[in-house]
Amino acid sequence: MNNDASISLKLEGGFVLNPILRSDKSAFLEHFSDPEISRNLLGMPRPCTGETVEEWLAHCVPESGSQTTMFAIRAPGGDLIGAIGIDGELASGAACAEFGYWLVPSHRGQGIMPRAIHGFADHIFQHFNIQRLCALPFSTNVSSQRALEKAGFRRERSLRLHHPNPSLSQDAIVYARMREEARDQESETRGA
């Protein structure tokens, strides 16, 4: 098992997934003010204030010796350009988990998130006994659906008006990747 305080998952192009830091607060406040992020990311702190972002950060920053399921996405120069992680706390022994993710506008449309999702999913399947990872983009969020498809996730079904908060509720699409599929993709890559 890793001590995730120093973990760094390398993505093509020099991007990395590594731990979220308390010093990322001001960058995250800026991210959450982007309308696309606040419209599509149900897991962000609401209302979004310095205080709620700090509370949210307290759950995201890995404690020493613990394994993290929430990662910062950093550009080659170290700038925080997004994040990816499991929503809420992962229950011990959980068989499935839902995750969320976002990128700042300047880095969209360059294929960064499909690589981040792929690397993140491989890591979770390797280090946790999760059988199924899923994400639930809104039916209107075609960019997110494309990113999941490119990362090897399969579209399963749609969920009508899927959110308890009526002001955020919209149709969502379930995308999932199973542990076996991760293994199959790995052996296909090795065999190629």
Ligand X SMILES: CC(C)(COP(=O)(O)OP(=O)(O)OC[C@H]1O[C@@H](n2cnc3c(N)ncnc32)[C@H](O)[C@@H]1OP(=O)(O)O)[C@@H](O)C(=O)NCCC(=O)NCCS
Residue 7 and residue 16: Cα distance in Å, rounded?
Answer: 10
Asked if 110 is part of the footprint of ligand X (rule: CB under 6 A), the reply reads yes
Residue type, 191: G
Using the rule CB under 6 A, give the single segment among 10-18, 69-77, 102-110, 120-128 that binds ligand X. 102-110
Asked if 172 is part of the footprint of ligand X (rule: CB under 6 A), the reply reads no
Burial 57-77 (b: 16+ CB within 10 A, else e): beebbbeeeebbbbbbbbbee
Task: Tell me the number of residues near ligand X by CB under 6 A.
Answer: 24
Comparison of 2 and 163: residue with beta carbon closer to ligand X: 163
Least separation in angstroms between residue 34's CB and ligand X is: 7
**Would you say 9 and 123 are in contact if contact means Cβ atoms under 8 Å apart?**
yes
Residue from the set 109, 155, 156, 180 that interacts with ligand X by CB under 6 A: 109
Q: H or E stretch including 101? A: strand 96-103
- The footprint of ligand X (CB under 6 A) covers 36-37, 40-41, 100-103, 108-114, 135, 137, 141-144, 146-147, 150
